[in-house]
Amino acid sequence: MESLRDRTKKILFSFSLLVFLFFYIPILFVIIFSFNDSKLGTVWTGFTLEWYTSIFENSQLIGATINSLYIAIIATLISTVLGTLAALALHRYTFIGKKAVEFLFYIPVVIPDIVVAVALLAIYGILNMSLGLNTAIPGHVAITISYVMLVVLARLSSFDNALEEAASDLGANGWQTFWKVTFPLIFPGVLAGGLLAFTISLDEFVISFFTLGPGDNTLPVLVYSMVRLGVSPEVNVLSTFIIVIMVIAVLIIGLRMRKGGEAK
């Protein structure tokens, strides 16, 4: 007779399988329809590689992609540095108002993006600033820095402070201790936070929609504007490129981190 433990394992496995199918089947369809011969992204009419060549002639799509990468890279760099420093400060030190600071970092995680977007738009209006690509970056940093901080804090929760003390006893100064001991140990958390920030920024629509200047488009904003007239199969091609690149990047990073762990 089947035990309760075995039934529980089967139920959990089935549920996990359904969740993975729910997430990955749409991605699989995007890849399949990137080879669709029809200009309508939802009707399959045959196999073609036409869109994989014509995408490089679509200046609007390429320009929006470059804008998205520009904003995402800068926002990721800023949020990763500031989020890591904030995590280190909150983990190591006790100071007046620490709980309030922690609460402030949690706010961007729970409030809707449209609140941040409208607030930034109001600030830009008060300062009489003209909108452009750069005015979207602060909003992206505001919503990604908290995720970086939370991921790095999770990594620091298992950090052994005795290693830093040992480095100090052996003559290392604070700078050397950080780069030779602390940073290599928390680097997986910093990298994970950076990748999460990059993904969120690249996918961000609401803040970009409100804070971009006239004529400036990011990829999510452009795709949204195309929905009413029908999304071009070239968007599926670009999505396929992004998926493949991200999967390869994650695999390479995972293998390097695994080899580094085995070497230690």
In a domain, 132, yes or no: yes
In a domain, 224, yes or no: yes
In a domain, 3, yes or no: no
How many CA atoms within 13 Å lie on the side-chain side of 124? 20
What would the pLDDT profile of 148-170 be if each residue is shown by its tens digit? 999 999 888 888 778 878 888 77
**Overall number of domains in the chain:** 1
pTM score: 0.83
What would the pLDDT profile of 166-212 be if each residue is shown by its tens digit? 888 777 887 888 888 888 888 888 988 998 999 899 989 999 999 99
In a domain, 54, yes or no: no
pLDDT, mean of residues 225-249:
80
Buried b (16+ CB within 10 A) or exposed e, 31-44: eebbbbeeeebeee
CATH assignment at residue 198: 1.10.3720.10
Query: Could you list the residue range(s) of the whole structural domain that residue 162 is in?
Result: 59-231
More confident residue, 97 or 86: 86
pLDDT beyond 80 at 227: no
In a domain, 108, yes or no: yes
How many of the other CB atoms lie within 10 Å of CB of 257?
14
What would the pLDDT profile of 92-141 be if each residue is shown by its tens digit? 888 888 888 888 888 888 888 888 899 998 999 898 888 888 999 999 99
In a domain, 95, yes or no: yes
